[in-house]
């Protein structure tokens, strides 16, 4: 033991040492009953090391020993991550439940990968090959993917392959290759490797400009406020506006290889829903269980707060690791506000000078650094992988003028702002079409999107005016614009998450429906009066809604489409014809 506790305050412990201390390294506080509590060095002052403890500090005493380590907080990477449910420190929760029962016990840690499971290894590299970090040495099948066993990503410089183990079944601890460094030193490689979570993992030739749309099958997102593979976006919204439901829908339907869900400081019940549902659901693209492409990091609100801070990084690192294999990964972080609050709690304990709303001054740079870990990269062999990050934000009082939302808006590529008014009116997804924006281009031509946005804006202006002058004071042209905006909102932007068909619209269908909606919107109707206008627009709204509910290319689908085409051609005929 190379240090002793001198102070305890909440989850902050101050230890005194006469030895070496590494900033952000791990430490273990040893309780008098022998339990070792994992901690991280977060500040060094003279011989004092401030530690944030990832567990409840109950029972720690002044004078208790502290074990300072050299390594930083890391996760283990290797085959077997997919389908796992971890806490913020990569302890597998089901295994913890088996070992300690209903409750989480402080000081119980389990290795993130199964050490018993063996994997079907096929070598790729040959003796004599010269390799760099990240180059594949072999591969194992993991679910639907080929999991590459790479030269450990943290290794620097060139290595020569001395030996590769023959094809066969091995566990993650067994040696699968021996590499020799430039200095002639031989190092063994296993299927697992560690990576410090707070360092971005990116071993690539270069970073690419992300352009390929990430289809989430949520119409308002894909068509109006698109996200691209390797991009970033945020979903701020007041409570009850449907942030989590939107994330769940995305996790389910997004056209992407792997989804990492980071449930950070949110309700345990929501995670249970995912845990119970996902194994039952099949991924329509592969026919396999959705769980096989999902990793869940669950650090719910009741779990220790320092681990909550770490959980976001843990999730990001796992996502980056699969990106190194040329896969497309989506990280959904719910909610980044809880993560920011964890930083605030700690900063308060450290008695740092507070910034706005008592958040630490480094809040914005931390948020920026987190989102910057997203990106599309070109690997050394030309393959492309991407990590997309979508974070929810839970602003206090639903007011976006607060540090976390503002700090996030500066660095993301798309903003899906949820509005209380829309969720109250049961217009789901409650993404506000007037306030939201995206810097990416998606599956619909940007000029069409702009035209639709103008329509929505105009419609909203007319609606506002109508609350003052009444329907009778509004011209029929303005009134029609308002109805058209409502029509677009009702049958395109809104989507019923509980309907099997309507819940997810593939890109092709979106383009087609969008073009039909645009046809209606661009038709010059000649309504005789407002009653007729309303009746006709209700009629076409109803047609589109039913069309949305019909399975693609079913008879029903074609029938509704026929009726819509009839409606349009009728409306486009000149008066009296």
Partner 1 sequence: MRKYFDEIRQIAGNVVTVNATGVGYDELAVIQSKYGESLAQVIRLSGQQVSVQVFAGSQGVSNTDRVRFLQRPMQVPFSEDLLGRVLDGSGRPRDGRSEVTGKMIEIGTPPANPVRRRMPDQMVHTGIPMIDVFNSLVESQKLPIFSVAGEPYNEVLARIGLQADAEVIILGGMGLRHDDYLNFRQAFEGGGVLGRAIMFIHTAADPVVECLMIPDLCLAVGEQFALQGKRVLVLLTDMTAFADALKEISIIMEQIPSNRGYPGDLYTQMARRYEKAIDFDGAGSMTILACVTMPGDDVTHPVPDNTGYITEGQFYLRGGRIEPFGSLSRLKQQVNGKTRDDHRAIMDACIQLYALCRESREKRDMGFEMSDWDRKLLRYGVLFEQRIMDLSVNIHLFDALDRCWEILGECFEPAETGIRRSIIEKHWPKQDGKPQPHAEPEPAQAEA
What residues numbered 33-62 form the site for partner 1, per CB under 8 A? 56-62
Taking the C-alpha atoms of residue 436 and residue 396, their distance in angstroms, rounded to an integer, is 19
Pick between residue 335 and residue 438 the one whose CB is nearest to partner 1: 335
Q: How far is CA 116 from the centre of its chain?
A: 30
102 is a contact residue toward partner 1 (CB under 8 A): yes
196 is a contact residue toward partner 1 (CB under 8 A): no
Taking the C-alpha atoms of residue 496 and residue 499, their distance in angstroms, rounded to an integer, is 6
Taking the C-alpha atoms of residue 375 and residue 353, their distance in angstroms, rounded to an integer, is 33
Question: Binding partner 1 by CB under 8 A: which of 35, 132, 180, 268?
Answer: 268
Shortest Å distance, C-beta 471 to partner 1: 8
Using alpha carbons, list the distances in angstroms from residue 139 to 123, 156, 180: 6, 22, 20
293 is a contact residue toward partner 1 (CB under 8 A): no
Pick between residue 167 and residue 358 the one whose CB is nearest to partner 1: 358
- CA dihedral of 285, 291, 292, 298, whole degrees rounded to 10: 130
Q: Can you read off the two tokens belonging to residue 401?
A: 């003028």
Q: Which of 249, 322, 223 is nearest to 504 (CA)?
A: 249
265 is a contact residue toward partner 1 (CB under 8 A): yes
Taking the C-alpha atoms of residue 86 and residue 83, their distance in angstroms, rounded to an integer, is 10
- Cβ partners under 8 Å of residue 184, min gap 6: none
φ, ψ (nearest 5 deg) of residue 296? -115, 130
281 is a contact residue toward partner 1 (CB under 8 A): no
Residues 9-28: x where in contact with partner 1 by CB under 8 A, - otherwise, as a string: xx---x--------------
Report the relative pairing of strands 118-123 and 136-142 from DSSP bridges: antiparallel
284 is a contact residue toward partner 1 (CB under 8 A): no
Pick between residue 99 and residue 570 the one whose CB is nearest to partner 1: 99
Task: List the interface residues with partner 1, window 359-388 (CB under 8 A).
Answer: 359
Number of residues interacting with partner 1: please give it, by CB under 8 A: 71
Taking the C-alpha atoms of residue 363 and residue 467, their distance in angstroms, rounded to an integer, is 42
550 is a contact residue toward partner 1 (CB under 8 A): no
Pick between residue 353 and residue 577 the one whose CB is nearest to partner 1: 353
Core vs surface per residue 288-306: b (16+ CB within 10 A) or e: ebbbbbbbbbbbbeebbbb
192 is a contact residue toward partner 1 (CB under 8 A): no
Question: Binding partner 1 by CB under 8 A: which of 1, 23, 47, 105?
Answer: 105
551 is a contact residue toward partner 1 (CB under 8 A): no
Q: Which of 104, 54, 40 is nearest to 308 (CA)?
A: 54
Shortest Å distance, C-beta 150 to partner 1: 31
Per DSSP, the three-state class of 570 is: helix
Question: Binding partner 1 by CB under 8 A: which of 127, 141, 240, 446?
Answer: 240
Using alpha carbons, list the distances in angstroms from residue 353 to 40, 89, 337, 347, 348: 21, 28, 20, 8, 8
Pick between residue 16 and residue 478 the one whose CB is nearest to partner 1: 16
Pick between residue 5 and residue 197 the one whose CB is nearest to partner 1: 5
286 is a contact residue toward partner 1 (CB under 8 A): no
Pick between residue 323 and residue 427 the one whose CB is nearest to partner 1: 427
Question: Binding partner 1 by CB under 8 A: which of 3, 66, 172, 271?
Answer: 271
What are residue 29's DSSP bridge partners? Answer: 37, 66
Taking the C-alpha atoms of residue 308 and residue 11, their distance in angstroms, rounded to an integer, is 12
> Cα angle at 313 between 311 and 316, to 5 degrees?
110
Question: Binding partner 1 by CB under 8 A: which of 382, 397, 574, 576?
Answer: 397
Pick between residue 358 and residue 551 the one whose CB is nearest to partner 1: 358
Q: Can you read off the two tokens belonging to residue 355?
A: 């910034």
341 is a contact residue toward partner 1 (CB under 8 A): yes
Shortest Å distance, C-beta 104 to partner 1: 5
Count CB atoms within 10 A of the CB of residue 29: 25
239 is a contact residue toward partner 1 (CB under 8 A): yes
Using alpha carbons, list the distances in angstroms from residue 123 to 56, 152, 170: 45, 15, 12
Question: Binding partner 1 by CB under 8 A: which of 1, 130, 302, 551?
Answer: 302
Task: List the interface residues with partner 1, window 71-100 (CB under 8 A).
Answer: 85, 93-94, 96-97, 100
Task: List the interface residues with partner 1, window 122-181 (CB under 8 A).
Answer: none
Shortest Å distance, C-beta 467 to partner 1: 9
473 is a contact residue toward partner 1 (CB under 8 A): no
Pick between residue 94 and residue 284 the one whose CB is nearest to partner 1: 94
DSSP for residue 89: T
What are residue 52's DSSP bridge partners? Answer: 12, 40
445 is a contact residue toward partner 1 (CB under 8 A): no
Interface segment toward partner 1; rule CB under 8 A; list 235-243, 283-291, 312-320, 452-460: 235-243
Contact status, residue 82 vs residue 292, Cβ threshold 8 Å: yes
Shortest Å distance, C-beta 13 to partner 1: 9
Taking the C-alpha atoms of residue 348 and residue 60, their distance in angstroms, rounded to an integer, is 20
358 is a contact residue toward partner 1 (CB under 8 A): yes
What are residue 380's DSSP bridge partners? Answer: none
Task: List the interface residues with partner 1, window 495-524 (CB under 8 A).
Answer: 496, 498
Task: List the interface residues with partner 1, window 424-443 (CB under 8 A).
Answer: 424-427
Interface segment toward partner 1; rule CB under 8 A; list 7-15, 20-28, 178-186, 224-232: 7-15
């Amino acid at each position: 033991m190379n240090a002793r506790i001198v102070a305890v305050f909440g989850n902050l412990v101050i230890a005194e040492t006469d030895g070496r201390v590494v900033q952000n390294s791990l430490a273990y506080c040893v309780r008098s009953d022998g339990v070792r509590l994992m901690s991280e060095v977060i500040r060094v002052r003279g011989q004092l090391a401030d530690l944030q403890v990832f567990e409840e500090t109950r029972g720690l005493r002044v004078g208790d020993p502290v074990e300072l380590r050299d390594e930083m907080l890391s996760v283990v990477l290797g085959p077997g991550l997919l389908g796992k449910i971890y806490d913020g420190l990569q302890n597998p929760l089901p295994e913890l439940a088996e070992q300690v029962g209903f409750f989480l016990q402080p000081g119980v840690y389990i290795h993130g990968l199964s050490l018993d499971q063996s994997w079907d290894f096929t070598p790729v590299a040959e003796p004599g090959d010269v390799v760099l970090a990240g180059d594949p040495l072999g591969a194992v099948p993991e679910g639907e993917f080929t999991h590459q066993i790479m030269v450990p990503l943290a290794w620097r410089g060139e290595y020569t392959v001395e030996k590769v183990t023959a094809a066969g079944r091995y566990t993650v601890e067994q040696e699968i290759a021996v590499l020799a460094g430039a200095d002639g030193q031989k190092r063994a490689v296993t299927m697992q490797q560690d990576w410090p979570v707070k360092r971005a993992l990116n071993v690539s030739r270069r970073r690419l400009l992300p352009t390929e749309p990430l289809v989430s099958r949520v119409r308002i997102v894909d068509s109006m406020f698109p996200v691209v593979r390797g991009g970033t976006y945020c979903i701020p919204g007041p409570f009850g506006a449907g942030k989590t439901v939107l994330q769940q829908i995305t996790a389910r339907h997004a056209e992407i290889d792997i989804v990492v869900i980071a449930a950070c400081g949110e309700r345990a019940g929501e995670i249970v829903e995912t845990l119970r549902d996902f194994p039952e659901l099949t991924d329509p693209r592969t026919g396999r269980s959705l769980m096989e492409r999902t990793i869940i990091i669950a650090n719910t609100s009741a779990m220790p707060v320092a681990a909550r801070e770490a959980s976001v990084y843990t999730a990001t690192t796992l996502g980056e690791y699969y990106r190194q294999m040329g896969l497309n990964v989506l990280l959904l972080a719910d909610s980044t506000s809880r993560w920011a609050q964890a930083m605030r709690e700690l900063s308060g304990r450290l008695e740092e000078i507070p910034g706005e709303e008592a958040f630490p001054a480094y809040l914005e740079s931390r948020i920026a650094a987190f989102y910057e870990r997203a990106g599309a990269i070109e690997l050394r062999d030309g393959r492309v992988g991407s990590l997309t990050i979508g974070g929810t934000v839970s602003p206090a009082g639903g007011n976006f003028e607060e540090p976390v939302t503002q700090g996030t808006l500066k660095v993301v590529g798309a903003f899906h702002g949820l509005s209380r008014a829309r969720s109250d009116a049961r217009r789901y997804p409650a993404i506000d079409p007037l306030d939201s924006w995206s810097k990416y281009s998606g599956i619909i031509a940007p000029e069409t999107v702009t035209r639709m946005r103008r329509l929505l804006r105009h419609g909203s202006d007319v609606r506002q005016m109508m609350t003052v002058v009444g329907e009778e004071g509004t011209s029929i042209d303005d009134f029609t614009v308002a109805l058209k905006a409502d029509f677009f909102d009702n049958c395109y932007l809104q989507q019923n998450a509980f309907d099997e068909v309507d819940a997810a619209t593939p890109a092709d269908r979106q383009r087609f429906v969008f073009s039909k909606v645009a046809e209606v919107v661009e038709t010059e109707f000649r309504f005789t009066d407002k009653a007729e206008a309303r009746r006709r627009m209700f009629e076409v709204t109803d047609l589109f809604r039913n069309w949305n509910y019909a399975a693609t290319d079913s008879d029903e689908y074609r029938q509704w489409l026929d009726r819509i085409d009839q409606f349009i051609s009728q409306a486009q005929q000149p008066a009296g014809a």
